[in-house]
Structures are given as C-alpha cells and as structure tokens.
C-alpha cells in the first residue's frame, strides 16, 4: 500500500525556520517525482514545490521561491521541505503527494494526511 | 503563472441530480488538466487526469471533458458521498496551479 506520512509541523514565529519531512512507503520512492502542496485554513489548494527523481528538476511556486528548499533522501525514502523566513501567510496544512504522468500529463495520485504549520507571533 | 478559474464557487444540489463544474484556464493548456475531490479534514483525492481519464477506483458517474482553455467535471447522478469540494489543476506549466475550488453542498 502506498503511504506518505508528513511530520515536522508546528508553531513558529515570523522569520523563523522549520523543516518538514515526508516518509514514503509501499512504492519505489527513488523513481518518482514528489510534491509539496499546502492549504491555508479555510482556503484552497496551493502547489508549493516539486522534485523529480534524482533531484534533476526542481520547481517552486513564486510565493516560496528563495525561502523554501525541497530535497529528498532516496536511501531513507524521504522528502523534505526546508522553510526559512516564514511569514504569517505560510500558515497552512502541508501535504506531500506522489506524482505520476501519462502522455506527459502529470498528476498527483497519492497524498499524505498533512502536517500543520502555524506562523504567529 | 497560468490562472485557473472554476465556476460556480459553490453549488447546492440533491441526491440524484446531474452536476457540472467548469474550469477555465488563462491560456491554452491542451489536456494538461486534472480534477480532485476533497472532503473536510481529508487529503485531496484524484478523480480525473489528462482532462478525461478516470482514475482507477473512481466511480463511473464522474467524467471529465474539454481541452484548450475550457474543461468540465460532470457527476451524472449525485450520491451522498459526493458532497465535497472539487478542484481543477493545470500541469501544462512546471509551475502547477489549482482552481479556487467548487463546494458542492446538499440542497
């Protein structure tokens, strides 16, 4: 069974840092692109970042570029999101999601339950 | 970024109704369009990928259509478990974007 389990969320002050983790199991993690997607309280989904297999291709949403860093450790089947210079608007539930593609169309077929990040003074 | 606009933002319907949700892209995206369902407190669930392909295990009452800039998600006969929020997502760009969501509520 494919499983993604996020951890590392918490309450931090503006300007502080936090590192999220996502532990994957039930599939060959190293061969998949994986994503971070977030959802602010009561709001819609926002894609945050993606990292391809072998970390060849990395992309960020404009809202986090320069502050967040996505990375992976294939030996540990883990995905990470290093979040620096956090702002109140980064407050959200953060999901990791596995990426598949068909005929060049990418889509997210498996999701974790999320970890909550709250940025408040 | 490619803007995705869903309509309506909310919708009231009854069990058994046929429902259509629309998603419009700010530029042509071919068939690089996916649909997700999200229930309160849960992770999103993939329904449709590549505009028209039904994800394995998703009931056949869900269908998707469209290409270019205009897309639709149709539920042919609403069931109680379908009341949720629905999102479209474009993956034509490496910077993916979601629509703002359509909340489907019980009438």
Q: Are A118 and A84 in contact (CB under 8 A)?
A: no
* Of the partner residues B1, B34, B97, the one whose CB lies closest to the CB of residue A107: B34
- Say if residue A91's pLDDT is above 90: yes
Segment A82-91 mean pLDDT: 98
| Distance, CA of B31 to CA of A103 (rounded, Å) | 10
* Of the partner residues B45, B53, B100, the one whose CB lies closest to the CB of residue A44: B100
pLDDT of residue B97: 98
**Confidence grade of residue A112 (pLDDT, cut at 50, 70, 90):** very high
Distance set, CA A90 to CA A14, A41, B10, B39 (Å) = 9, 10, 25, 22
Q: Are B90 and B68 in contact (CB under 8 A)?
A: no
SS3 B91: coil
Chain A residues inside the 8 Å CB shell of B98: 44-47
Segment A11-15 mean pLDDT: 98
C-alpha closest to that of A119 among A93, A81, A80: A93
pLDDT of residue A43: 98
Tokens of B50: 């590549």
- Say if residue A61's pLDDT is above 90: yes
Sheet containing A68-73, strands listed edge to edge, beginning at the edge strand earlier in sequence: A3-7, A18-25, A78-83, A68-73
Tell me the pLDDT of chain B averaged across its residues.
Answer: 97
Distance from CA of A24 to the nearest CA of B (A): 16
Tokens of A105: 């169309």
Segment A63-78 mean pLDDT: 98
pLDDT of residue A102: 87
Chain A residues inside the 8 Å CB shell of B34: 105, 107-108
Tokens of B82: 């379908």
Tokens of A69: 């860093």
Q: Which residues pair with B10 in a beta bridge?
A: B103
Q: Are B86 and B79 in contact (CB under 8 A)?
A: no
Chain B residues inside the 8 Å CB shell of A61: 95
| Distance, CA of B79 to CA of B22 (rounded, Å) | 19
Distance from CA of A58 to the nearest CA of B (A): 9
Which of B96, B97, B100 is the best mutation test for A, with the most CBs of A within 10 A?
A: B96
Chain A residues inside the 8 Å CB shell of B43: 95, 111-114
| Distance, CA of B14 to CA of B21 (rounded, Å) | 15
What are the residues whose beta carbons fall under 8 Å from the beta carbon of A80, sequence distance 6 or more?
A19, A20, A21, A22, A70, A71, A72, A73
C-alpha closest to that of B74 among B60, B90, B91, B89: B60
Tokens of B24: 């419009």
């Amino acid at each position: 069974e494919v499983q993604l389990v996020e951890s590392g969320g918490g309450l931090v002050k503006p300007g502080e840092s936090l590192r999220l983790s996502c532990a994957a199991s039930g599939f060959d993690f190293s061969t998949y692109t994986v994503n971070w997607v977030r959802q602010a309280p009561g709001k819609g989904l926002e894609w945050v970042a993606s990292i391809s297999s072998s970390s060849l291709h990395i992309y960020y949403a404009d809202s986090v570029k320069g502050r967040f860093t996505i990375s992976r450790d294939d030996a540990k089947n883990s995905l990470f999101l290093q979040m620096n210079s956090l702002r109140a608007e980064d407050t959200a539930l953060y999901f990791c999601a596995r990426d598949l593609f068909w005929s060049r169309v990418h889509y997210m077929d498996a999701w974790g339950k999320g970890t909550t990040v709250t940025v408040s003074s | 970024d490619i803007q995705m606009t869903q309509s309506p933002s909310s919708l009231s319907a009854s069990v058994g109704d046929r429902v259509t949700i629309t998603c419009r892209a700010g530029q042509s995206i071919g068939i690089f369009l996916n649909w997700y369902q999200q229930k309160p407190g849960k992770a999103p669930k993939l329904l449709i990928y590549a505009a028209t392909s039904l994800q394995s295990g998703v009931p056949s009452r869900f269908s998707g259509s469209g290409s270019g800039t205009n897309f639709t998600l149709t539920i042919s006969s609403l069931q109680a478990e379908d009341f949720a929020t629905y999102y479209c997502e474009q993956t034509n760009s490496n910077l993916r974007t979601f629509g703002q969501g359509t909340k489907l509520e019980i009438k």
